[in-house]
């Protein structure tokens, strides 16, 4: 029963491209008619039912108290400090409320892989420019569809080579990559920088992603959201 629930989700999230010829989507290579693509809205809807109940998943942007708001994440998981927190900050969510960032890749290949890894590293820089300099690195999850049958062993090697060639620190790396209906690449903290464990999980992939993802999303943060830091104004009020 547990397993079947997630197998059913796969059928609802992967959709065939219906456009004639080729279309381009954010963060993806071109998709041909009939190829499977990730339905972003369906995925967000399902994740909202699977993340810890204290969190919400939505297509909003992160921001820190310095005003730095990196692009790249397709959607994020965050604490809903108040229902209008995204409206108060014009579609942004404060760094201190964010528990995870998600990056979608249709038609996984070497080019879309490099794009996703760069997008992750950009999100990981958030709060590096504030006075306090937070020590929480936002957990990042790549969700990929492998239309072009990128071999998982080759994918793992290319990821490690990418990070080494860019001389990136461990804090800039993603935590989990889920390749739909094929497998997972999981950051291996015990082996140091640029190291990942690969698992060929087949149609159990989404189930294990759900379990491992929530272990990251449930981490308790030491910093707290202070709305005063996000009011960047030089206005002086009369005091009496």
What pTM was computed for the model?
0.90
Most confident of 134-138, 176-180, 188-192: 176-180
% of the chain with per-residue pLDDT over 70: 89
User: In 10 A of CB 115, how many CB atoms?
Assistant: 17
Q: Is 152 among the domain residues? A: yes
% of the chain with per-residue pLDDT over 90: 67
Which pLDDT value is given to residue 33?
64
Q: Is 12 among the domain residues? A: yes
Which pLDDT value is given to residue 43?
96
Domain that holds residue 203: 2-221
* pLDDT tens per residue, range 100-113: 999 999 889 999 99
Which pLDDT value is given to residue 192?
67
DSSP state of 13: H
Which pLDDT value is given to residue 147?
84
If we measure between CA atoms, which residue out of 140, 137, 142, 132 comes closest to residue 180?
A: 142
Q: Is 230 among the domain residues? A: no
Q: Is 10 among the domain residues? A: yes
Q: Is 51 among the domain residues? A: yes
pLDDT at residue 28 tops 50: no
Give, in degrees to the nearest 5, the angle at Cα 53 between 51 and 55: 70
Which pLDDT value is given to residue 134?
66
Q: Is 141 among the domain residues? A: yes
Mean pLDDT of the chain, nearest integer: 89
* pLDDT tens per residue, range 85-94: 999 999 999 9
User: In 10 A of CB 70, how many CB atoms?
Assistant: 17
Q: Which residues contact 163 (CB under 8 A, 6 or more apart)?
A: 117, 172, 173, 193, 194
Please count the structural domains in the chain: 1
Q: Is 234 among the domain residues? A: no
Q: Is 39 among the domain residues? A: yes
């Amino acid at each position: 029963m547990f397993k079947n629930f997630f197998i059913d989700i796969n059928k609802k999230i992967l959709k065939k491209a219906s456009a004639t010829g080729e279309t381009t989507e954010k963060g993806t290579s071109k998709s041909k008619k009939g190829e499977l693509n990730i339905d972003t809205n369906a995925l967000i809807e399902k994740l909202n039912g699977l993340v810890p109940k204290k969190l919400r998943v939505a297509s909003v942007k992160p921001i820190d108290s310095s005003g730095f708001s990196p692009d790249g994440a397709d959607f994020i998981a965050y604490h809903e400090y108040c229902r209008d927190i995204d409206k108060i900050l014009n579609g942004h969510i404060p760094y201190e409320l964010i528990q995870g960032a998600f990056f979608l890749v249709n038609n996984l290949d070497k080019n879309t892989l490099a794009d996703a890894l760069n997008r992750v590293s950009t999100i990981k820089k958030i709060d590096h420019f504030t006075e306090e300099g937070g020590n929480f690195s936002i957990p990042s999850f790549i969700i990929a569809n492998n239309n072009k049958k990128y071999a998982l062993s080759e994918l793992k090697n290319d990821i490690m080579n990418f990070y080494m060639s860019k001389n990136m620190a461990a804090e800039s790396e993603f935590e989990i990559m889920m390749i739909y209906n094929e497998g997972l690449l999981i950051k291996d903290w015990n082996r140091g920088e640029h190291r990942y464990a690969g698992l060929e999980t087949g149609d159990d992939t989404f189930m294990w992603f759900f379990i491992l993802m929530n272990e990251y999303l449930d981490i308790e943060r030491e910093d707290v959201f202070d709305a005063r830091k996000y009011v960047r104004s030089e206005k002086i009020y009369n005091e009496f």
